[in-house]
Amino acid sequence: MEIVAYGVLADEEPLLREAFREAFAGRHGLRCLGLFLDRDTVPTAADHEVVLSSVNDTLDADVLRSLAEGGTRMIAQRSTGYNNIDLTAAKELGLTIARVSYYSPYSVAEFAWALALAVNRRIVRAAYRTREFDFRLDGLMGRDLRGRTAGVVGTGKIGTAFARIAHGFGMRLLGWDIVENPDCLAMGMQYVPRERLFAEADLVSLHVPLLPDTHHLVDAEVLALMKDDAILINSSRGGLVDTDALVETLRAGRLSGVGLDVYEEEAGVFFLDKSLEVMTDDRLARLMTFSNVLVTSHQAYFTRDAVGQIVRTTVANIEDYCAGRSGDNTLVRPDTA
């Protein structure tokens, strides 16, 4: 059968095709599309039993219904997060949904630190200056991280990897999670209430999934607790941060730096070239005007190691579906409806 993949990036496609060749040896074809799956593009999935989705596809009840009516029976999401999929509707429609439950946590943790270091030491501003042969140091002063406090919100695999790097810098570690991680405790992390973490941390990094309980986890109230010279990093999900509240906080001259690899309204913007268009998202445009804010386009996971794991797991999920199996990556199966 032919399998169609949506939101395929140029650097991802060769890895995806190689994984298909190795696993299926021509038994299944692969059609790679750069466009995202939504209500407008769902007709292109007609007659494809298996669809490979991306994190920025819109898989609400209407799209899922159209997929099912067009013959789709299985959706393999090429990411860990799946907040873009209506799982209840998928169950009702008898669809199989799978995801990638694990890939290199170091890719995201290391990138979160790249953002933190860049905003702390004003790297982007410095790079722009030196390109113009302006070698002044005015406005580029940062801070030593050693001896300061890192607040890690979410201490799963990625949060733990982030904490290890912070520990290597010689930082004091505060953590917040529903379960204490023994690996983090062994590094000397102290688990504290969320309010205390945000109030005491010099650097806060978010590593929790986007769920109803974590939507706008960082709101105006939480931002008001943070130190005026604190740094906020989000490489998890955009919806964790209330963007309007963040803009108001920055307008008030608070926070030393903000690094965002995700944005709550990134669908339809991130992964696309918008350079020749007028930016109609006022909040995103406003964020980009602050010199102490660095926004990247959801690339923290984007290493050869991590993407390689993602495509191999996606292929394994397809093999499980074809064999009638379910595993740790299976979110929905028709017999569990």
Active site members? 237, 266, 298
Q: How many CB atoms lie within 10 A of CB 135?
A: 8
Q: Which residues of 215-244 are buried (b: 16+ CB within 10 A; e: fewer)?
A: ebbbeeebbeebbeebbbbbbbbbbbbbbe
- Picking from 128, 189, 202, the residue whose alpha carbon sits closest to that of residue 159 is 189
CA 81 – CA 59 distance, rounded (Å): 13
Q: Residue 108 is encoded by which pair of tokens? A: 């995201």
- Picking from 220, 218, 253, the residue whose alpha carbon sits closest to that of residue 232 is 218
What 8-state DSSP symbol labels residue 1? -
Pairing of strands 96-98, 330-332: antiparallel
CA 63 – CA 207 distance, rounded (Å): 29
Single-letter amino acid code for the residue at 87: L
- Picking from 225, 223, 229, 230, the residue whose alpha carbon sits closest to that of residue 249 is 223
Q: Is residue 18 within 8 Å of residue 65, measured between CB atoms? A: no
| Residue 316: alpha-carbon gap to chain centroid | 22
Q: Residue 80 is encoded by which pair of tokens? A: 């860990």
What kind and span of H or E run contains 5? Answer: strand 2-5
Alpha helices per DSSP H over the chain: 13-24, 61-69, 87-93, 105-120, 123-131, 157-169, 182-186, 194-200, 220-225, 243-251, 282-287, 304-322
In Å, what is the CA distance from 193 to each residue of 62, 143, 316? 40, 26, 39
